[in-house]
Amino acid sequence: MVRNDFWTNPIALEEMTPEDKYFYLYLLTNPNTTQIGIYKITKKQMAFDLGYSIESVQSLMERFIRHHKLIRYNPETRELAIKNWGRYNLHKGGKPVMDCINSELKEVEDLSLISYVGEAINKEEIRSLYESFSKHDIEKEISQQIEDDTYPDTECDEVDDTFLPSDTIPDQKEKAYSSDIENNPDIEEQPQHQKTKDVTEIVEFWDSNGFGFSNMNAKEQLLSWLDESSFLQPKDVVLKALAIACANNKRKLNYVIGILKNWENESLLTTQEIDSYQENENHVHKHKQSTESLPSGRAIPSGFELDLTAGED
């Protein structure tokens, strides 16, 4: 259902183009919509219904995901979730409605989409039902053991030279870690809610940047660096490694793990140390290039002309 205040919504008035409004109305009213605001649909079907090319549909979806932040889409399960669906459509409870919602929630494959839609629901009864499904969300799904190991080899095949170790500094990790504990006595007893927040932030970055929605085993291996690494800022360091992988278009677990291992081997335990190290490496690389470009031997004066017949007369 589309409410008439859709046309007076500030986002629709100020931020959406006519094409955006057309696409959003289609997402709200197409035949695949459900009671819960999460439904399966393919880009090919959207393109056919709208009369657009698949490339145009992809561009519009990226705009709604990254700019308007009104939808999420799992390309593997082909499930689409509308963020504010529950706020405008799920006002009434009662057994028939709750049974319908419960039945449709059971069909959702990507549980993170249930949490995504549930956050905007105002009616307590319905929001609680969404939360009962999403309680097995990100952290518990990741902790499950999956027999099919998509990435059996975590060694990095391709890593930029910037991150290759040179000479490690003995005992630096231990000293830095001990010093940090003295200054921050709570570091070893980090609150559980903060750990959950860190997990959520990393998984959201992973999912929204094309590393793979359903690869829970890869996420589990990556999240183990929060507890098992010697980094003093594990969450920030992992996010930095993921950002570098995105920048280099290497969205693979083994590439990210390779970066993290090289930083550990180099005893770079904080993002500040990593940034400083990279700046120094870039400076050395530029200096080396400028040195190699200098000509060897004595320079020949610009006005000098070689006369091979000189002295023959």
Q: Which of 157-166, 256-265, 295-304 has the lowest mean pLDDT?
A: 157-166
The pLDDT of residue 23 is 94
Q: What distance in Å separates the CA atoms of residue 178 and residue 44, rounded to the nearest whole number?
A: 56
The pLDDT of residue 228 is 84
3-state secondary structure of 16: coil
3-state secondary structure of 80: strand
Residue 218: phi and psi, rounded to 5, are -65, -40
Taking each helix axis from N to C end, the angle separating 43-50 and 54-62, rounded to the nearest 10 degrees, works out to 110
Question: Which is it for the CA torsion 13, 15, 19, 22, positive or negative?
Answer: negative
With 90 as the cut, is the pLDDT of residue 181 above it?
A: no
pTM of the predicted model as reported, rounded to 2 decimal places = 0.45
The pLDDT of residue 173 is 47
The pLDDT of residue 237 is 92
With 90 as the cut, is the pLDDT of residue 79 above it?
A: yes
Q: What distance in Å separates the CA atoms of residue 137 and residue 116, rounded to the nearest whole number?
A: 11
Q: If you average pLDDT over residues 238-249, what whole number do you get?
A: 91
The pLDDT of residue 287 is 62
Q: What distance in Å separates the CA atoms of residue 282 and residue 12, rounded to the nearest whole number?
A: 46
The pLDDT of residue 302 is 61
Q: What distance in Å separates the CA atoms of residue 117 and residue 307, rounded to the nearest whole number?
A: 85
Helix extents (H) in 186-295? 192-208, 216-223, 225-228, 234-247, 253-265, 271-292
**Residue where the block lists tokens 């999240």:** 223
- In the chain, domain spans: 4-136, 161-287
Contact 24/70 with Cβ under 8 angstroms?
yes
With 80 as the cut, is the pLDDT of residue 14 above it?
A: yes
Q: If you average pLDDT over residues 171-190, what whole number do you get?
A: 52
Q: Which two tokens stand for residue 126?
A: 């319905």
The pLDDT of residue 155 is 44
Q: What distance in Å separates the CA atoms of residue 134 and residue 110, rounded to the nearest whole number?
A: 10
Contact 233/270 with Cβ under 8 angstroms?
yes
The pLDDT of residue 88 is 82
3-state secondary structure of 123: coil
Question: Which is it for the CA torsion 143, 147, 151, 152, positive or negative?
Answer: positive
Contact 219/226 with Cβ under 8 angstroms?
no
**Residue where the block lists tokens 């549980």:** 111
The pLDDT of residue 170 is 45
Left if phi > 0, otherwise alpha if psi is -120 to 50, otherwise beta: which for 78?
Answer: left
With 60 as the cut, is the pLDDT of residue 9 above it?
A: yes
CATH of domain 4-136: 1.10.10
Per residue in 120-152, pLDDT tens?
A: 888 888 888 888 886 655 555 555 544 444 444
Q: Which of 63-77, 166-180, 196-210, 274-288 has the highest mean pLDDT?
A: 63-77
Per residue in 26-61, pLDDT tens?
A: 999 999 999 999 999 999 999 999 999 999 999 999
